[in-house]
């Protein structure tokens, strides 16, 4: 039996980069390290530090997940001025097989390799094996990927869906979109469903109440339900999440399930049931009944993107 290759995998976020070793689709126990991006000039420096600390192992393959669009093996972080390409990863690691993925693509490749306790149910429903699955990332940014099983392997799409237009259904929604819009006047889904969106909602709710306040997103989530303004901000967040997730479900028909992932997703999950995610998600008029066919769960494994990178390399070997 041929031993699995030793792979280096990396999850490059806007704030931190996580790096690990993998054998096949599984991470090597105890190998994960986290590095603050602000302390490094570029990814090559991060990888050099990691390999030195790991004892300079021979790396057969490398896969990195990037929080930004990737095209032709090259990408740039959305929230940090780093440009990364597969050639640079190959030089830094010595790997012959290298792949750069969008971070949500990596999350999609992880779905078949997560431990059962890494999923927290959010909305009950059937989850059909082999059917299309949808991953929604809620963190510093927002993105979406769709996971298909095909005869030749797992197909995970690349998208930048967090930057589509924020949906507006009524006068309050229009007022919120105008409040959240940047200098260019454009309000994106990410402006409300990312971490900064929780803060924007709180500012909007308190401004409309005549008592304008600002608060950190973590503090807002922690203050609900005792703080009425925090509770209302999270209610608005839940309504928007339900509307956006419901629209995506109708676009892609994810009978294999919908998966929320990211720091914001994990933080808001305990509140979603109380604040009516089911109603917002299923409010699709004549198709409201169809929405009961889609289950939603939150992924709690903070290393899922690393696992997805390892799974991609293992499937591609």
Is 219 a domain residue?
yes
Reduced 3-state DSSP string for 72-117: CCEEECCCCCCEEEHHHHHHHHCCCEEEEEEHHHHHHHHHHHCCHH
The pLDDT tens digits for 150-172 are: 999 999 999 989 999 999 999 99
Asked if residue 143 and residue 288 are part of one domain, the reply reads yes
The reported pTM is 0.93
Asked if pLDDT for residue 3 goes beyond 80, the answer is: no
Q: Is residue 254 part of a domain?
A: yes
Q: What is the CATH number for 240?
A: 3.40.367.20
Q: Which residue range forms the structural domain that includes residue 168?
A: 133-299
pLDDT of residue 104: 93
Of all residues in the chain, the percent with pLDDT exceeding 90 is 91
Burial of 96 (0-12, 13-18, 19+ CB in 10 A): exposed
Task: Give the chain's domain count.
Answer: 2
For the stretch 183-210, pLDDT in tens is 899 999 999 999 999 999 999 999 999 9
Q: Please check whether residue 201 lies inside any domain of the structure.
A: yes
Q: At what angle do helices 195-208 and 171-180 cross, to 10 degrees?
A: 120
184 lies in the same domain as 219: yes
Do 238 and 100 sit in the same domain of this protein?
A: no
Whether residues 56 and 143 share a domain: the answer is no
281-316: pLDDT as tens digits: 999 999 999 999 999 999 999 999 999 999 999 999
């Amino acid at each position: 039996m041929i031993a699995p290759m030793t792979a280096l995998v990396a999850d490059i976020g806007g704030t931190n980069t996580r790096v690990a070793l993998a054998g096949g689709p599984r991470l090597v126990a105890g190998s994960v390290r986290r590095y603050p991006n602000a302390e490094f000039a570029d990814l090559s420096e991060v990888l050099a530090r990691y390999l030195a600390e790991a004892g300079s192992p021979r790396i057969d393959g490398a896969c990195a997940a990037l929080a930004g669009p990737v095209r032709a093996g090259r990408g740039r972080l959305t929230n940090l001025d780093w440009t990364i390409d597969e050639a640079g990863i190959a030089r830094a690691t010595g790997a012959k097989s290298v792949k750069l993925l969008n971070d949500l693509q990596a999350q999609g490749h992880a779905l078949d390799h997560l431990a059962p306790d890494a999923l927290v149910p959010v909305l009950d429903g059937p989850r059909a094996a082999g059917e299309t699955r949808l991953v929604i990332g809620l963190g510093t940014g927002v993105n979406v990927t769709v996971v298909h099983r095909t005869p030749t392997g797992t197909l995970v799409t690349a998208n930048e869906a967090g930057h589509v237009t924020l949906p507006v259904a009524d006068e309050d929604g229009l007022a919120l979109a105008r409040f959240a819009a940047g200098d260019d006047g454009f309000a994106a889904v990410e402006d409300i469903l990312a971490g900064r969106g929780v803060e924007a909602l709180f500012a909007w709710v308190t401004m409309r109440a005549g008592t304008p306040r600002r608060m950190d997103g973590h503090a807002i989530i922690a203050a609900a339900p005792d703080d009425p303004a925090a509770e209302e901000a999270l209610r608005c967040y839940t309504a928007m999440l339900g509307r956006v997730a419901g629209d995506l479900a109708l676009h892609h028909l994810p009978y294999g399930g919908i998966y929320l992932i990211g720091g914001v997703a994990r933080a808001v999950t305990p509140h979603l049931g109380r604040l009516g995610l089911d109603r917002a998600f299923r409010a699709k008029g004549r198709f409201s009944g169809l929405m009961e066919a889609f289950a939603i769960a939150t992924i709690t494994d903070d290393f899922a993107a690393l696992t997805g990178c390892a799974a991609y390399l293992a499937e591609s070997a």
